[in-house]
Structure 1
Amino acid sequence: MTKIMSAAQAVASIQDGQTVASVGVIGWTVPDATLAAIGKRFSETGAPRNLTFYFPCGTGDAVGIRGMDHVAQEGLMKRIVSGSYINPVNPHTGERPALMRLIQENRIEAYSWPIGASMHWLREVARRSPGYMTRVGVGTYADPQHGGGKFTSRCDDDLIQKIRLNGEDLLFYPSWPIDVAIIRASSADEFGNLSFEDEPLVSASLALALAAKASDGRVIAQVRRIVPGGERAATSVRLPGMFVDSLVVDPHMMMSTDTPYDEAYLRPSAVDARLPAIPFGPDKVIARRAALEVRKHELSIFGFGAAADVPLVMAEQGLIDLENHPNDYWFTTEHGSYGGIVMNGWQFSANLRPQALLDGVTQFDVIDGGLCRFAALAFAEYDSNGTVNVSKFGKVNPGAGGFIDIAMNAQRLVFTGSFTTGGLDIAYDAGRMRIVKEGKVSKFVDTVQSRTYPVADGVAAGQSALIVTERAVFEQTPSGLVLTEVAPGVDVRRDVLDLMAFRPAHILDPLPLMPESLFTDSVGHQADAVVDS
């Protein structure tokens, strides 16, 4: 019997109350047609109902590739567990994703796990073990003492437990079955053997499939094309067909947001690999300053948001030479792409001109093993206790993504972001900055809304940590937060201290200036910029 069928046929057997898990990383490797078929079936028939959806990463961009938004329907979705949530406003409609609205209105059970846990948990399900145990996340919002990863008040079940073993506090994630896994690959033969030759990321596809089969569940694979059996070398097949139940063919599936196909994301030798330009302004200033902390021949990992601009700025400055010295700098992200240039915005996750690729579960072995020595990450709030927040602020609930695993296990940390947000307007002239309009919200608060990572605890254990903004640089030390640099043209009291809910433990005296070269654009003329990082 053929495994090839339509998306509607593939999802027709999903039953009420089942757990459905899907791969996807923002717009990358999303089985969008299959997820759309689930949403369409429910809209037309009212079935299936009360599903639990498991997304190791935020899936879809809520614009062109809707991903998890296809199934964000009350009645269809009872519960969702995800490593991150897609939150930005749709530029065409001005609306936030449907899933985020369900979360904000408390209409579903929404849980947020660190992506390291959401990846590694799948391996435990595949092993039929009792669950996943880790020290990562203790003292964060994933810790039951600080919320247990619950993002809505409807969440009654404790999906994360705190245990003590050999005198150490650990987090334990009990396993449960995966009934249906939806994955994506590039090609399949008629037997279901899968290869990923056109996918810049593999992410959780392999782990999802094995977890579902170990649960006596089904695996649906969405692919771009069918190839004859025996045409590909066995070394190119990543998942044997015996673990695939259904094949959905979508020849038009996008590689990622606004990208039907681009070879530059697949191989280091791609010749047509144009880098996006970062406009001169606060984000670029922040990225330039953070770039000063990056070292050659040290595995450096970059997170979503302002931090992802750092490699692009370094390339623009000529510090990275992929033609002649491709191994001077070692760059990666939490999603397993190695080498080349980390991309920003909707293209974040895959690298341009990569040299190698690990699957998502293995990449978090690298991260949790401390092999990424340097990490640049964004921040949304920083508080008087030395705790950083990116997971929940205001009405925004993006979750932590890989932030917690990365921050806990790197040796050197740089947190990047604007000092204030909400309409910040800055002008630059001759290497100096001037605040035209201050942002409505300061990011330096008395107590963070969500404990994403206790930086002070990491510093006490031997980490180093800088906080880089467009107007000032801070260092978290064992004695507290220290103001170490200020931008030329900034009034320290008016533009820094008076906007903080707490006073730094120390201010260097004399207080060094950030390098003037950071504040001049490439052609040397005055520039104005508005930022909302």
Structure 2
Amino acid sequence: MSGSAANNESNGMSKICTVEEAVALVKSGDSVASVGVIGWITPDALLAGLARRFKSTGDPAGLTFYFPCGTGDAMDIKGMDHVAIEGHMKRIVAGSYVNPVDPKTGKRPELMRLIRENRIEAYSWPIGASMHWLREVARRGPGYLTKIGLDTYADPAQGGGKFTTLAEEDLIQRVNFKGEDYLFYPTWPLNVGFIRASTADEFGNLSFEDEPIHSSSLQIALAVKACGGTVIAQVRKVVERGSRPAAQARIPGVLVDKVVVDATQMMSTDVAHDSSFLGGQSWDGQTSDRLAYGADKIVARRAAREIRPGVTSIFGFGASSDAPTILLEDGHLTGGHYRDYQFTTEHGPFGGLVMSGWQFSANKYPEALLDGVTQFDFIDGGGCPFAALAFAQFDQQGNVNVSRFGVANPGAGGFIDIAYNATDLVFAGTFTTGGLEIGYEDGKLRIIREGKVRKFVRRADHITYPVRRNVMERGQRAKLITERAVFEVDAEGLVLIEVAPGIDARSQVLDLMEFNNVRVAPELALMDADLFRVG
């Protein structure tokens, strides 16, 4: 326990303080870890306060930031974008980056500009590694050892997770242990931790009753304290010490040095509070959530047909997370049938409805919850045999890319852990992107305007996961689903197995791919017309 925490305990002093008092504890050169999953559980007031201090005083400078996941939405909950200031941020290590365009301003996050312009040292780790690494820091271990990520962009042979040329230090090593290759992530100290909860008492015992996910909150606190650092919690309210059952206090006050109260903190992007994300209430298998008609909805409808009752199914960020909403729209979850499906995400909710867009990560009407680190134990242990994920590029060698393409630098998120440990993989997305427009009439799909960007490329910009190799060597099964064609991946590459009615397989599919080793199934099937119905 730190000296300040020990004094607070012996003197009965409160740990409650202002944002300004809390961020004054951060020193130049510190390593600061912070929790957050898009808008969920982001300690936004603390990150904003730290940025304000730097802008007004020039301190603290030269900070290293450690974000296990993309933190904040870079809009009203800016999260990591608050501290994306040259001079303030020297280095960032993140499991993912918040990358989408702000619909209000049309701009991408400021952090993306710093990365594109090589203004900071930027690294991207798979979220599973970033979460499990915290556990090694907390137990004062030498580092995290894993096979997950070999031959991907995280592998030193493929760049070692470096996103800028200023990122010169090798934070990931490829090592041989007992005759086998692994990736090794050496530990280094964390000085400050920013975490968020719902409620604290004056001693700092934290509960999460209004938070639908917990992410790496506990593990950040454990890791920072193991390094002799300072843990600062942001909460919505304070209660009397001893007024809650012990089981509710998920983080004990001995791990917390300071508590800042922000009564206005949002549950997530555009959500002040919605109890449906917390579970514990009856559900009829219906919500008002609906997908707008278009190519994405066609993709989601086809992907939904791969989902099987009774199989724990995990969904990644992007087009793939729309598939459960299709099952909801079509009435498959009513009459208690939602209990036949076990939907989850990399962030730990089980049951209910997976959300998409800015609300992705938490489920509506969940039945159970694991914290983020334990969820990756579950994923890495093969607990999710079916996975639906997005794709930005797929190349001639059978590699899929979602981590870096064009001006986007989102990182892998949980993609690599999920893909490596599933048995059946679905990669869902439109065939091209950047202005694609489609129509459907007279039983035929029409491409009104082709997307400017091809997604089936000769060589992917990044290797997020080598699909074909793992199909060939580890027996995985994989499909790519688009609005106009469906492919299987086998040991030799891609096989076109379905094409949309009205689409010419040669001119509107094969000729738009930058490689010509795609085979056509002997009995090429038409995609079901019901997938294209308007509505």
Note if contact 1:431-1:518 (Cα within 8 Å) is conserved in structure 2: no
Give the whole-Å Cα distance in 2 for the aligned partners of 1:448 and 1:93: 30
Amino acid paired to 1:489: G
Could you list the per-position Cα deviations for residues 109-137 of structure 1 after superposition, in whole angstroms to 9, with x for gaps in the alignment? 00000000000000000000000000000
Could you list the per-position Cα deviations for residues 179-216 of structure 1 after superposition, in whole angstroms to 9, with x for gaps in the alignment? 00100000011111110000001000000000000000
Tell me the CA shift for residue 65 of structure 1: 0.3
Of all paired residues, the percent bearing the same amino acid is 61
Tell me the CA shift for residue 302 of structure 1: 0.2
Partner in structure 2 of residue 531 of structure 1: none
Note if contact 1:23-1:203 (Cα within 8 Å) is conserved in structure 2: yes
Partner in structure 1 of residue 385 of structure 2: 373
Partner in structure 2 of residue 499 of structure 1: 512
Q: How does 1:69-468 map to 2 (within 5 A)?
A: 69-269=81-281, 274-321=287-334, 324-460=336-472, 461-468=474-481
Amino acid paired to 1:76: H
Give the whole-Å Cα distance in 2 for the aligned partners of 1:430 and 1:406: 40
Note if contact 1:370-1:410 (Cα within 8 Å) is conserved in structure 2: yes
Could you list the per-position Cα deviations for residues 334-371 of structure 1 after superposition, in whole angstroms to 9, with x for gaps in the alignment? 00011000000000000001001100000000111111
Tell me the CA shift for residue 275 of structure 1: 3.5
Give the whole-Å Cα distance in 2 for the aligned partners of 1:416 and 1:275: 24
For residue 481 of structure 1, give the secondary structure of its aligned residue in structure 2: strand
Tell me the CA shift for residue 324 of structure 1: 1.9
Tell me the CA shift for residue 90 of structure 1: 1.2
Note if contact 2:283-2:365 (Cα within 8 Å) is conserved in structure 1: no
Give the whole-Å Cα distance in 2 for the aligned partners of 1:431 and 1:328: 33
Give the whole-Å Cα distance in 1 for the aligned partners of 2:443 and 2:32: 54
Tell me the CA shift for residue 430 of structure 1: 3.9
Partner in structure 1 of residue 10 of structure 2: none
Tell me the CA shift for residue 510 of structure 1: 2.9
Give the whole-Å Cα distance in 2 for the aligned partners of 1:150 and 1:436: 39
For residue 327 of structure 1, give the secondary structure of its aligned residue in structure 2: helix
Partner in structure 2 of residue 23 of structure 1: 35
Partner in structure 1 of residue 499 of structure 2: 486
Task: Single out whichever of 501-510 and 453-462 deviates more from structure 2.
Answer: 501-510
Give the whole-Å Cα distance in 2 for the aligned partners of 1:391 and 1:232: 42
What is the CA RMSD across the aligned residues, in angstroms? 1.1
Give the whole-Å Cα distance in 2 for the aligned partners of 1:502 and 1:484: 17
Give the whole-Å Cα distance in 1 for the aligned partners of 2:384 and 2:16: 41
Partner in structure 2 of residue 38 of structure 1: 50
Note if contact 2:468-2:492 (Cα within 8 Å) is conserved in structure 1: no
2:534 aligned with 1:521: yes
Amino acid paired to 2:125: W
Give the whole-Å Cα distance in 2 for the aligned partners of 1:325 and 1:509: 37
Give the gaps of 5 or more residues in structure 1: 523-533
Tell me the CA shift for residue 271 of structure 1: 5.8
Could you list the per-position Cα deviations for residues 51-77 of structure 1 after superposition, in whole angstroms to 9, with x for gaps in the alignment? 000000000001110000110000000
For residue 494 of structure 2, give the secondary structure of its aligned residue in structure 1: strand
TM-score where L is the length of structure 1 = 0.96
For residue 111 of structure 2, give the secondary structure of its aligned residue in structure 1: helix
For residue 220 of structure 1, give the secondary structure of its aligned residue in structure 2: strand
Give the gaps of 5 or more residues in structure 2: 1-12
C-alpha distance 459-258 of structure 1, shift in aligned 2 (>3 A): same
Tell me the CA shift for residue 277 of structure 1: 1.2
Give the whole-Å Cα distance in 1 for the aligned partners of 2:443 and 2:72: 40
Tell me the CA shift for residue 94 of structure 1: 1.4
Note if contact 1:113-1:400 (Cα within 8 Å) is conserved in structure 2: yes
Give the whole-Å Cα distance in 2 for the aligned partners of 1:177 and 1:213: 10
Amino acid paired to 2:112: M
Could you list the per-position Cα deviations for residues 442-470 of structure 1 after superposition, in whole angstroms to 9, with x for gaps in the alignment? 10000100000000111011100000000
Note if contact 2:471-2:491 (Cα within 8 Å) is conserved in structure 1: yes
Tell me the CA shift for residue 325 of structure 1: 3.0
Partner in structure 2 of residue 63 of structure 1: 75
Give the whole-Å Cα distance in 1 for the aligned partners of 2:434 and 2:149: 30
For residue 367 of structure 1, give the secondary structure of its aligned residue in structure 2: helix
**The one of 4, 8, 11 aligned to 2:23:** 11
TM-score where L is the length of structure 2 = 0.96
Partner in structure 1 of residue 525 of structure 2: 512
Could you list the per-position Cα deviations for residues 19-72 of structure 1 after superposition, in whole angstroms to 9, with x for gaps in the alignment? 000000001000000000000000000000000000000000011100001100
Note if contact 2:205-2:252 (Cα within 8 Å) is conserved in structure 1: yes
Note if contact 1:479-1:505 (Cα within 8 Å) is conserved in structure 2: no
